[in-house]
Structure 1
Amino acid sequence: MKFDKTIAKIKDGVDKHIVPGASYTVIDGVDHLEGQVGQQELEPTEIPLQPNELYDLASLTKVVGTTNVILQLTSDGQIGLEDSISKYLPEWHSPEVTIRNLLTHTSDIVGYIPHRNELPKEQLIQAELGLSSGDKRSQVLRYQDTNFLFLGWIASRIAGKPIQQLMTERVLRPLKMTETTFNPQDSSQVVPTQIVPKYGLLRGMVHDPKTQILGSDSGAAGMFSTQRDLEKFVRFILGENRDDFKDVLNDKMLAGIYQDQTPTHLGIRSFGWILTYYQQQPIILHTGYTGTLLIIDKQHHRGLVYLSNRVHPQVVGEPFLKYRSELIHTFISESNQ
């Protein structure tokens, strides 16, 4: 297996103290290469990473879980991509926003919620629903958690269960992702994230403040998973074992994940995923705020699972974002050699 440059770049992030540590799996056809480098914890004590530990996935929850639940409901005819979200969330007063807008982050939701991370759950929900859409809907991409909070609430109102329960029943169990959870039972198996004033070191508690409030009603974050389970997920998105997994995502919806789904054909978002191209072939990827990343190259049947806790002990901003861009470029270049 190649990918020497990708693995060197992963180690470089640790050596340069951009991230405390990283776990990775490179998928190349039927083969894979996995490993970990660096520390899981720096403060209050240094603890080295161990194989296959749980990471807070942050926004990878959107594409591993929520997107697939919504696409199932679409396939079943319970949701229409062009439906107004007001059909399902009547409290929302910008009926021009559609399910497709939410999935592709083209809803242009505007407004400000004072003290958002301090509100009780019901007040936060009503505050989010009290926002509105701006005049750039469908014309610009504005990545916002609110889009996937709304999708989670829509799924819940249709199916009668919290979105995180729906992800577990409709995605994680069928894919046999048995290590993935929203409520880690053994915090010693969880890679910690940030040290925050309210809670101290977060280990097994979700990092995202909105999800801390919303709990199982958050479709934007909250999932914890391992290298092993995410390899199963990537292989599913690559189209392996289709006869076993068509109930999770049918062939039409799976193909749609690799196609531009924005209303005005911006060419940069599919269903949930970031969409890019290399030599005219589609590649999908998604990131998580805590330092997580999935890249999937269907043309060459390759993928990268990259898990770090770049927010530990405190958030690293610009250096990590630059490094992550370099890592993405390195993997895609090697995948296409």
Structure 2
Amino acid sequence: MYLKTQKEIEKKKEQGVFPGAVFAFIEGDKQEIHVIGEARIVPEALPMDEDYLFDVASLTKVICTTSVVLKLLEDGKIQLDDPLKTYLPEFKDESISIRHLLTHTSDINTWIENRDELNQEELRAAYLTLKAGENLGKKVKYTDAGTILLGFMLEKIYWEDVIDIFQEEVLNPIGMMQSLFLPKASNRIVPTEQLSTGEVIHGVTHDPKARILAEHAGNAGLFTNVSDVIKFVEMYLQLGSVENGTFLKKETILKLLKDCTPSGKGHRSLGWDLKEDEMDGHPLLFHTGYTGTFLLLDVEEHSAFIFLSNRIHPADHRDEYIQNRDEILSIYLKEKALKKK
């Protein structure tokens, strides 16, 4: 399945773009998982394993935070165009809505002085003072602040730590039983970056904001593996259905295939980026994670491409990786289009 894409991924690994990867293709009722390279090369090499858990970084946003917010919208417990302040009264700005945060159109000024040196309480307090910019609702500007603030909102609604909400409302119902937050052991976890001290981040969240916020982080922090991610993706491809019933309504999934930005021209859905099929232009759901992960879902044709890599191990070469990632995606989309001819 997708042989050209497989060869391109293998080539990128050989070129050192990432030490290893676990990736999967879904096509109708067929699933294919591939494992290449090493899970770790510092301090010594360790072969990649299909069952290993990855710090999937911002995939946490769509798998967890967006999912819970969508469920609340379905239940009528929140309204998409209500100000965040309606549900999180301690948030200072009255102009930023839930839609703005989900579509990255808040133009929020995210600069926080000495951010990575603050403790959990100080960082939370700082986020509550952030304000919208002059392009509120007009432009897409991707930021972690949106899902961090939505995480605080969820805690206010459920009166629980956000990672416990994610466990109860997302991981358990979908059956993602190997996935977790704040791991206690690191033996099955793929390490990430090597710090200037020589220490390798391993079993600890790579994102510094999520690392500080810990149990209160809605932007990153999920550790998961390919089999659990497949369960999440299949829920979308099955239009919200899971083994034990309905996780999201069919109408909710289908609405996500439309531009949900205030202008309708921002190419973003609720939580998701929107790409287009190369054959007929129908919408695809897409999201990335800083650590070297992405999801590309074609709900209409029941197909998906799941990619989990350790591209920041041992060093972070972000710009180079993004170019190579986009080349992989381009080959996949072309190969996908050719399959329909």
TM-score range, shorter chain: over 0.9
Query: Is contact 1:149-1:219 (8 Å) kept?
Result: yes
| Separation of aligned partners in 2, 1:319 and 1:334 | 23
Distance in 2 between the 1:146 and 1:28 partners? 34
1:323 aligns with 2:324: yes
- d(CA) in 1 for partners of 2:227 and 2:308? 12
2:269 equivalent to 1:291: no
Provide the C-alpha distance between the structure 2 equivalents of 1:199 and 1:213, rounded to a whole number of angstroms. Answer: 21
Shift of 1:56: 0.3
- Residue 149 of structure 2 aligns with which residue? 150
Rounded to whole Å, the distance in 2 between the matches of 1:79 and 1:198 is 45
The Cα offsets for residues 216-246 of structure 1, whole Å up to 9 and x where unpaired, read as: 1111000011011111111111126727566
Residues 118-127 or 250-259, more deviating: 250-259
Judged with a 3 Å threshold, the aligned counterparts in structure 2 of structure 1 residues 305 and 30 are, in CA distance, closer, same or farther, namely same
Q: 1:27 deviation in Å?
A: 0.8
Q: How far apart are 1:89 and its partner, in Å? A: 2.4
Question: How far off its partner does 1:90 sit?
Answer: 2.5
Q: How does 1:159-170 map to 2 (within 5 A)?
A: 159-170=158-169
Aligned-pair CA distance for 1:92: 2.6
Taking structure 1 as the reference length, what is the TM-score of the superposition? Answer: 0.96
Structure 2 residue identity aligned to 1:54: L
Letter in 2 for 1:169: E
Contact 1:68 1:248 (8 Å CA) reproduced? no
Paired residues, number = 336
Question: In the aligned structure 2, how far is the partner of 1:233 from the partner of 1:243?
Answer: 9
One-letter amino acid matched to 2:303: R
Partner of residue 204, structure 1: 203
TM-score, scaled to structure 2: 0.95
What pairs up with 1:119-158 in 2 under 5 angstroms?
Answer: 119-158=118-157
Deviation per CA, 1:71-91: give whole Å up to 9, x if none. Answer: 111111111001001112223
Residues 164 and 247 from structure 1, CA distance in 2 versus in 1: closer, same or farther, beyond 3 angstroms? farther
Superposition deviation, residue 58 in structure 1: 0.1
Change (3 A) 1:199 1:159: farther
Rounded Cα–Cα distance in structure 1 between residues aligned with 2:320 and 2:190: 21
Task: For 1:34-73, list aligned pairs within 5 A.
Answer: 34-73=33-72
Q: Which secondary structure state, in structure 1, belongs to the residue aligned with residue 140 of structure 2?
A: coil
1:49-106 Cα deviation digits (max 9, x unpaired): 1222100000000000000100111111111001001112223332111000000000
2:192 counterpart letter in structure 1:
T
Cα RMSD (Å) = 1.6
1:15-63 deviation per Cα after TM superposition (whole angstroms, max 9, x unaligned): 1101111111111111111111111111111111122210000000000
- Please report how far the alpha carbon of residue 310 of structure 1 lies from its aligned counterpart in structure 2 after TM superposition: 0.8
Q: Distance in 2 between matches of 1:111 and 1:294?
A: 26
Q: CA deviation at 1:201?
A: 1.1
Q: How big is the shift at 1:185?
A: 4.0
- Judged with a 3 Å threshold, the aligned counterparts in structure 2 of structure 1 residues 243 and 62 are, in CA distance, closer, same or farther, namely closer
For structure 2, the residue ranges without an aligned partner over 5 or more in a row are none
Percent pairwise identity: 34
* Other-structure match for 2:32: 33
* Partner Cα separation in structure 2 for residue 245 and residue 63 of structure 1: 21
Q: Deviations over 1:254-280 (max 9, x none)?
A: 112211111111241111011111222
Which residue number in structure 2 is paired with residue 90 of structure 1? 89
Q: Residue 191 of structure 2 contacts residue 310 of structure 2 at CA under 8 Å; is this kept in 1?
A: yes
